Structure 1
Amino acid sequence: MIAKGQYNDLRIIKKTESGLILTEGETEVLLPYFDVPKNAEIGDNINVFAYVQKDGKLIATTKKPLACVGDFAYLTVVDDNGDGAFMDLGLDKDIFVPSREQKRPMFKGDSHVVYLLLDESNDRMIASSKLLNFVEVEEINLEEGDEVSLLVVDRSDLGYNAIIDNKYIGLLYTNELFELLNPGETRKGWVKKIRVEGKIDLSLQTMGYGHILDNKDSILEELKYSGGTIGLGDKSSPEEIYSRFKISKNAFKKVIGGLYKDRIIAISDYEIKILVDHEAE
């Protein structure tokens, strides 16, 4: 069966006045000539995106949509009416967001993170901004410390909600961030904690001992590059530390504490300095 709202590898079986006819062995779909790649011949296999048009007919295209069915994506509203909104999907066809699927009203020019799905009544693609209906909350195949991909959704009272690996939802806490994030922004992140109720706490910084080792090397390199002294210490502000090393003050203190115990650096309130014996290493 041809997967609607997805990419499909299909075989060219014949040519018509309108375009090429493709099939996976059971269903046939038209690829209009304006989308046909050069040198495509009968018998070739071709990768296309298939979707149902407004008239109910299945159509194929070689254009690349911004997202597929089953994806969370940050899309822009190009039109709105009393029934819903239309968002740019990067195709000739915009994707419809019915009013019933809008977490809050959508208007032309707005951008939102939405989930793409098939309308059960007609197999046409639609989108929804009611994301909690589509994230996995029971079987979470993640562990604390895992590196994940994040799609920032919106800001809440505690921080920023983010889609994790196109499957789960979690929270980046404001008091652990040192920069503003924007909806639609993609980031690399780490799982900080998985709570009993299935809620996931996230971090933009690596977790565990490996993180300390990586930052230890970075700070030593920066010390050597800066002539052996850096104007940051125990009492420096979190913002100053993050601006220089992109790590939290807590992580910074752990790293310089380890370097101090190893007798590699000296620490003062607003400065760290490499010891003479290690300057040439």
Structure 2
Amino acid sequence: MIKIGKRQLLKVNNYTPIGLYLDAETGNEEDNILLPKNELELLEKKPEIGEELDVFIYRDSEDRLISTLRVTYATIGTLAKLEVTDINSKIGAFLDWGLKKELLLPKGQEVGKLEIGKKYLVGLYEDKKGRISATMKVYKFLLPCKDYKKNDLVTGTVYNIDNNIGVFVAVDDRYFGMMPKNEYFKEYKIGQEITARVIRVREDGKLDLAPRKLAFEQLDDDGKIILEKMRILKSAFHFNDKSSPEEIYDYFGISKKAFKRAIGGLLKQGLIEKNGENFVLKK
């Protein structure tokens, strides 16, 4: 049985001036698959009738089934980061997937605004017309994960953002991951590669993530930021427990909780002191 979008072993059936035909094993020679003549240049020697070749099956520009010896960057049912080579505002985007014929990412399968020359995480599927297409809606391609545990650092790709829920991340570009809305304080973009910390491994194998290090590891970084700002602002440093979370994040890039934790650490280290409601560098 011919499997479109997959690699498979097919036997050489016969030669023609335009290439050779591979046996589709249907009993009908009209179903046999062409391996174009220019593909034979990739082989060290001319294959014999009955010899098996490892080929990838797809459809050409005229929607005919055809085979290639070339290796694609992904096959149907798998994920890959593919580069956008062109964009058609009505049809969709075209991706480089290792073949001369580019792969279509239909308009309805795009997530966010795409840019030519950038790579995006996509999954490959067979559409209703039997053609191989790409989609950025990769949730159904992702797998549960048991490889990581709480506090492990992981890398992944942002594939969706829901302002009411959080940022969805494909961990290792293959596992379910999500940063809940209350765990991050900056903007993310579709396709962005991030490093995060596992804060929970759910029973179903999905990972809850946070973008920051453990509190005791982050303290030094946050403390350094606050000290530097205090040296710059001097007596004009007015941030304290009454400052709003928005003010703190806009200026320091950290949450109010992280700010208070860092301030507490600096006080314990004797680097700063409290003067009324404000904090100042200790002389």
Q: What TM bracket, shorter-length normalisation?
A: 0.5 to 0.7
Question: Would the alpha carbon gap of residues 28 and 194 (structure 1) be closer, same or farther in structure 2, given more than 3 Å must change?
Answer: closer
Question: Is 1:57 matched with 2:67?
Answer: yes
Look up the match of 1:214.
Answer: 221
Question: Is 1:154 matched with 2:164?
Answer: no
Q: Matched residues in 2 for 1:79 and 1:260: separation?
A: 57
> Which stretch has the larger CA shift, 244-253 or 181-190?
181-190
Q: Matched residues in 2 for 1:158 and 1:109: separation?
A: 17
* Residues 87, 97 of structure 1: 8 Å contact kept: yes
Give the one of 116, 132, 135 matched to 2:142: 135
Q: Matched residues in 2 for 1:168 and 1:110: separation?
A: 24
**Which amino acid in 2 is paired with 1:179?**
K
Question: Is 1:95 matched with 2:103?
Answer: yes
Aligned-pair distance for 1:125? 4.8
Q: Deviations over 1:102-156 (max 9, x none)?
A: 9xx4489975976334759xx985324553322111x421222222223222233
Aligned-pair distance for 1:249? 1.4
Question: Is 1:203 matched with 2:213?
Answer: no
Question: Would the alpha carbon gap of residues 244 and 188 (structure 1) be closer, same or farther in structure 2, given more than 3 Å must change?
Answer: farther
Question: Is 1:172 matched with 2:179?
Answer: yes
Look up the match of 2:41.
Answer: 21
Look up the match of 2:199.
Answer: 192
Give the one of 251, 256, 259 matched to 2:263: 256
* Residues 176, 248 of structure 1: 8 Å contact kept: no
Aligned-pair distance for 1:235? 1.9
Question: Would the alpha carbon gap of residues 235 and 107 (structure 1) be closer, same or farther in structure 2, given more than 3 Å must change?
Answer: closer
Question: Would the alpha carbon gap of residues 188 and 107 (structure 1) be closer, same or farther in structure 2, given more than 3 Å must change?
Answer: closer
Aligned-pair distance for 1:216? 2.4
The alignment partner of 1:89 has SS state of: strand
Q: Matched residues in 1 for 2:276 and 2:177: separation?
A: 36
Q: Matched residues in 1 for 2:148 and 2:124: separation?
A: 24
Find runs of 4+ consecutive structure 1 residues off by over 6 angstroms: 74-77, 107-110
Under a length normalisation based on structure 1, what TM-score does the superposition of the two structures give? 0.62
User: Quick check: which has more Rg, 1 or 2?
Assistant: 2
Q: Between the two proteins, what is the percent identity of the paired residues?
A: 25
Q: Matched residues in 1 for 2:53 and 2:277: separation?
A: 70
Q: Matched residues in 1 for 2:276 and 2:159: separation?
A: 38
**Which amino acid in 2 is paired with 1:260?**
L
Q: Deviations over 1:153-182 (max 9, x none)?
A: 223332222222201122222233333333
> Which stretch has the larger CA shift, 107-116 or 202-211?
107-116
Question: Would the alpha carbon gap of residues 28 and 142 (structure 1) be closer, same or farther in structure 2, given more than 3 Å must change?
Answer: closer
Question: Would the alpha carbon gap of residues 245 and 270 (structure 1) be closer, same or farther in structure 2, given more than 3 Å must change?
Answer: farther
How many residue pairs end up in the alignment?
A: 230
Give the one of 181, 188, 195 matched to 1:181: 188
Question: Is 1:78 matched with 2:85?
Answer: no
* Residues 21, 28 of structure 1: 8 Å contact kept: no
Structure 2 segments unaligned to the other structure (5+ residues): 8-36, 46-51
* Residues 94, 105 of structure 2: 8 Å contact kept: no
Q: Matched residues in 2 for 1:268 and 1:135: separation?
A: 53
